[in-house]
Amino acid sequence: MESVATKTIWTIDPTHSEIQFKVRHLMVSTVTGQFNKFDGRLEAEGDDFDNASVYFTADIDSITTNNEQRDAHLKSADFFHSEEHPQLVFESTAMTKVGQERYELAGNLTIRGITKPVVLKVEYGGQMQDFYGNHKAGFEITGTIRRKEFGLMWDAVTEAGGVVVSDEVKLALGIQIVKQP
C-alpha cells in the first residue's frame, strides 16, 4: 500500500515577517515602502515545500513609506484605490524547487482588481523550533512587477523631462511561517 503524505498547514507569523517594495523616484533614488497588515498560509505535503500552495493578502490601507502625504496618494484612485480595492491578493499556481535552498514561486497577483501571473524567487532559510515550542520556517522572497500592468497608472514628468516614479517595482519579502498543529 502506498503511503500518503499528510497536508501540513503553515501560517505567516506577522511579528517576524515584512512585506516591502522599492520604487525608483526621479530615477536617482529609491523609495521603500511596506505593508504592515497582511495574512497568508502555505499548504505542503509534510515538511517538503516543493509543490506547496501559497495564499497571501495585504491590506492596502496598511501601506507606509514613512511619508503621510505620499501614503495617502498611494491609497487614492491614482494608485491602489484602497476604497474600492482594499487588498492585494497572491495565489500560487506552482512552487518548484530549483536548487538546494531555492524555489521558484509562480502565481497570480491581483492588485486593483487586475490579476496577472508573476514569478518570484524564493530562498529557503531553514526550520527551527522557537522558545515556545512552535515549529517555524523562513523564506526570503524577491521579484519584480510592473505597476502599470496592475492599473497603477499615475505618472508625472519633471520640467527637465525626468520620470517621477518608475514602472518597475521590486518586491522583497522576509517571511517566517508557523506550522499549525
113-136 pLDDT, tens digit per residue, is 999 999 999 999 999 999 999 999
Determine the average pLDDT of the residues in 67-93: 95
Better-predicted residue by pLDDT, 39 or 164: 39
CB atoms within 10 A of CB 102: 12
pLDDT exceeds cutoff 60 at 157 = no
* CA–CA gap between residue 153 and residue 150 (Å, rounded): 8
Segment 87-123, tens digit of pLDDT: 999 999 999 999 999 999 999 999 999 999 999 999 9
Better-predicted residue by pLDDT, 181 or 42: 42
Fold topology of 9-179: Lipocalin (2.40.128)
Check: CB of residue 57 under 8 Å from CB of residue 88: yes
Per the prediction, the chain carries an average pLDDT of 90
Q: E strands within 18-164?
A: 18-25, 29-35, 38-45, 48-59, 63-64, 87-99, 102-111, 114-129, 135-146
Determine the average pLDDT of the residues in 165-177: 91
Determine the average pLDDT of the residues in 80-91: 97
Better-predicted residue by pLDDT, 36 or 156: 36
Determine the average pLDDT of the residues in 7-11: 95
pLDDT exceeds cutoff 60 at 161 = no
